[in-house]
Amino acid sequence: MTGLLEGVRVLDLTNVLAGPYCCYQLALLGADVVKVESPGGGDLARQLGAAPELNRAAMGASFLAQNAGKRSVVLDLKTEEGRGRFLKLVAGADALVENFRPGVMARLGLSYEALRAVRPDLVYCAISGFGQTGPLAGNPAYDQIVQGLSGLMAITGTPETAPLRVGYPACDTLGGLFGAFAVVSALIRRMRTGEGAFLDVSLLESTLSAMGWPVSNYLTAGVEPRPMGNENVTAAPSGTFRTADGPLNIAANKQEQFEALCAVIGRPELASDPRFAEREARKRNREALRALIEEALAAAPAAEWEARLNGAGVPAGRVLGLPAALAEPQVQGRGITTRFEDVPGLDRPLTVVRGGFLVDGEAPRPLRPPPRLGEHQQEILEDGE
């Protein structure tokens, strides 16, 4: 497959997750992503992950997750020599992504304006917790801090357990996706007009944007969202239900789906019960409805109900752990993972996850494994490639 961004070079000055994830999406699309790392360890994620031996080898599992397809060079941007070599890279780059705190690049003498003097049409993407302006701009920001400040934690969990952190770095990941989207959009404008761009990506704003429904309910209807656990605020029965052997998600959000659900579980009379006959009544009586549905679901395992309900047009799916999710035939059949048998710096094969879409029926995949620190120093800096 021809990479959609083939011929585009991106300088990746980022660390840990939001920025590296942004640049990983660009690498999957075919961009030549050059990871510019600092001496003395490089990306902090090289030391993070569940395998201590990989952390010691500066190839931590957290780093491996979003750095395949990239090349690595080491430059000390605090030195005149390092900055000089970096500016040569900028002259040949199309885009640059960094996730330092606001002001760091300027203090190094490498502000957007300084880099524009070298590459006038540069697309410069700065990813930070709160953006480049505002009273919080200078604050340090980790994913959990943004989860709390965005209101995301406040609506996660049940009324008894909220606030709860979402179980993975959701805000970092959203910021990375927004960053990649912005970079590609700016590159399209540059093709049309020759203009570069300064992209100011905020994790807090990315998260609020992605929380569209609860934000809209508050801004438009004045209804403050509240934690509802596994229940769907817009419909019932829509949530997680007990079966004979484990939990099952059911989303009977439409009237015809609810009626089909009642028929499949052998309780057709529920569809005409005044407590449940129409949408708003079901929402008011969701707990009573849940008890009756779970009583019927106790007769069979989750997988059997999943097949029967989907066959009747009712969205349903088992609640799986990650190993089971990755082993699902649907996931396996779409080729979500790429395996590298021989990875420099690793004592084992490596499997990484690609992006979430296909292009013309083919999966965009990283062409090389994650790089060792400074692995491509000679070919990029000394050979001038």
Catalytic residues: 172
Side by side, the strands of the sheet bearing 123-128 are 70-74, 32-37, 9-12, 95-98, 123-128, 197-202
Asked if 94 and 8 touch (Cβ cutoff 8 Å), the reply is yes
Cβ-Cβ contacts under 8 Å for 185 (sequence gap 6 or more): none
Give, in degrees to the nearest 5, the angle at Cα 380 between 374 and 381: 85
What 3 state SS string does 177-214 have? HHHHHHHHHHHHHHHHHCCCEEEEEEHHHHHHHHCHHH
Q: Is the peptide bond before 163 cis (omega within 30 degrees of 0)?
A: yes
The set of long-range contacts for 315-321, using a CB threshold of 8 Å and a minimum separation of 24, is 315/250, 315/251, 315/252, 315/253, 315/257, 316/248, 316/249, 316/250, 316/251, 317/248, 317/249, 318/246, 318/247, 318/248, 318/249, 319/240, 319/246, 319/247, 319/248, 319/249
Task: Give the containing element (helix H, strand E) for 324.
Answer: helix 322-327
d(CA 112, CA 103): 11
Give the chain's end-to-end CA distance (angstroms, integer): 23
Asked if 31 and 3 touch (Cβ cutoff 8 Å), the reply is yes
